[in-house]
Amino acid sequence: MNQQEGYEDDVVKGFIIWSMVWGLVAVLLGVVISFQIAFPQLNLPPYLTYGRLRPIHTNAGIFGWGIGSFMAFFIYITQRLTKRSLWSPALARVQLWLFNVVIALAAVTLLLGMNRSKEYAELEWPVALLVVVLWVIFSVNIVMTVVKRREEQMYISLWYILATLVGVAVLYLVNNAAIPISLTKSYSAYAGANDANVQWWYGHNAVAMVLTTPPLAIFYYFLPKSTGVPIYSHRMGVIAFWSLIFMYLWTGAHHLLWTPVPDWVQTLAMAFSVMLIAPSWAAVFNGYFSMNGQWQQMRDNYLVKFLIFGITFYGLQTLQGPSQAIRTFSAFIHYTDWVPGHVHMGTLGWVSLVLFAAIYYTVPKIYRTEIHSIPMANLHFWLAVTGQLMFSISMWISGVQQAAMLNATNPDGSLHYSFMETLVELYPYWHVRALGGVIYLAGLVLFIYNIAKTMSRGNTLAAAQKA
């Protein structure tokens, strides 16, 4: 424990707490909008409609919960892997403040309808500028800590951290280029098919640089920490890292199959999406093979359960994703519920399970105590997995059913179903999804309670020691 004395962990505590707050907001709003889809009278215009709440749900999820906790763990992990304290704790405190200001501003402006309409890049330009400042502050601190490190070798997690810093910066700057009209309104700098191509280059690589490389950095650090055995293959990690960050950037146009974006761009996106299976599964195998001789830990160690289920969902996700990126399959399921089903296996399954494990591991460490309740953490695990599976499986079935109905034709070549005739069949699935969301939310509340109890016990112990 003495080894931790030199590390700047107060700001890590701050980021963990606030990311959990925004995570709760994201899941709560997710449940609300899932009910709004199933029961339209729950829309309360003008502010509380699906159209305005859904961007807040995605932004709170990706940027509040996701980026918030990545900031916590990048700061935590970087210090330990470089064997030195953070370059500038003061800058990190500014970063925590700015982070919360940005997310709160994002929520308020989106609720008021100030929205650029580009998915996951909805924030109007003044807020987007603050995001850029935030990212620069964060990146400088991490990079300087790495440059001035006391451990020569950089472990895999640090590569993913560095790639994330660069990747997000490039993506965000390009896709947010805008023509400002007023403080609350701007137009995209690109038009039509160009705008779409830039948007999905950004959109899909937000998946790469926000929902893949940071959780991988965290996974590669916390799996060995939790199990006590090293990662199976460093070399496989190296190959997977470079091929992953090289290939991901080619795949954006698989969101635009069958649109007027040039065919060759679509075909490249399709090919690279399939090729991405290799580096993705290299990470999965690295996780599984690290467990050789350690599988009993799935029973004994609740952290391992979260991590291995997380990487398993990642594996499923990276098989399903490329299959959707193929023209024929995309023609069938694109624009249906299949896609939210796919996305939520990644966010609720892969990213969140890994983050839960990291928080369960870290909080007792930095508060110098034990976790409040392991049975409660186990219950959280099962609620999260059950809720997630109910969500994704119901949406896959819903998507396939609607796609099949939309494609059904009569003997004379006319369509068998109108759009509405297919939509009314989806209500039961939407009810199941909403229930899945409620179960996931219940698990999340349990998790936050467990962590809060652990934190307050740590604080009490620290106060007692001082006295």
Partner 1 sequence: MIEKKPIIFLLLATMAILVGTVVTMVAPFKWINDPKLAIASVKPYTPLQLEGRDIYIREGCNNCHTQMVRPLLSDTERYGEYSKSGEFAYDQPHLWGSRRNGPDLARIGGKYPDAWHVKHMKDPRSMVPRSNMPAYAFLEQPLDTGLSEKKMKALKFPYTRADLDELSGKTEMDAMVAYMQKVGNDIPWRKTGRAEVLGELDNPFQDNMAVLPEGKELYLQHCAQCHGEDLKGEVGPGLEDLDQPDSAVFNIIYVGSPEAGMPAYGDSLGKERIWKLVTYLKSVHRR
Interacting residues with partner 1 between 326 and 345 (CB under 8 A): 331, 335-336, 339-340
Q: Which is nearer to partner 1, 3 or 153 (CB)?
A: 153
Q: Which residues 270-329 are close enough to bind partner 1 by CB under 8 A?
A: 272
* Binding to partner 1, residues 117-136 (CB under 8 A): 117-119
Smallest gap from residue 335 Cβ to partner 1 (A): 4
Question: 23: exposed, middle or buried (C-beta count within 10 Å: 0-12, 13-18, 19+)?
Answer: buried
Size of the site for partner 1 (CB under 8 A): 94
Nearest residue to 315 via CA among 290, 285, 295, 344:
285
User: Is 119 or 452 the residue whose CB approaches partner 1 more closely?
Assistant: 119
DSSP secondary structure, 24-81, as one string: HHHHHHHHHHHHHHH-GGG-BTTTBSHHHHHHHHHHIIIIIIIIHHHHHHHHHHHHHH
The pair of structure tokens assigned to 60 is 């709170």
Asked if 2 touches partner 1 (CB under 8 A), the answer is: no
Site for partner 1 in 416-455 (CB under 8 A): 418-420, 423-424, 427
Nearest to 212 by CA among 77, 313, 83, 332: 313
Taking residues 68 to 107 in sequence order and writing x for each that binds partner 1 by CB under 8 A, - otherwise, the string is: ----------------------------------------
Residue type, 416: H
Q: Which residue lies nearer to partner 1 by CB, 44 or 462?
A: 44
Closer residue to partner 1, CB minimum distance, 152 or 300: 152
Residues present in the chain in total: 467
Residues in 393-412 that interact with partner 1 by CB under 8 A: 406-407, 409-410, 412
| Segment 356 to 385, residues that bind partner 1, using CB under 8 A | none
Residue 206 touches partner 1, criterion: CB under 8 A:
no
Q: Is residue 242 a contact residue for partner 1 (CB under 8 A)?
A: yes
Phi then psi for residue 185, to 5 deg, are: -145, 135
Q: Does 195 bind partner 1 (CB under 8 A)?
A: yes
CB of 28 or CB of 111, closer to partner 1:
111
Cα–Cα distance, 157 to 76 (Å, whole number): 12
Burial class (CB in 10 A: 0-12, 13-18, 19+), 191: exposed
Q: Is 163 in the site for partner 1 (CB under 8 A)?
A: yes
| Residue 210 dihedral angles phi and psi, to the nearest 5° | -110, -40
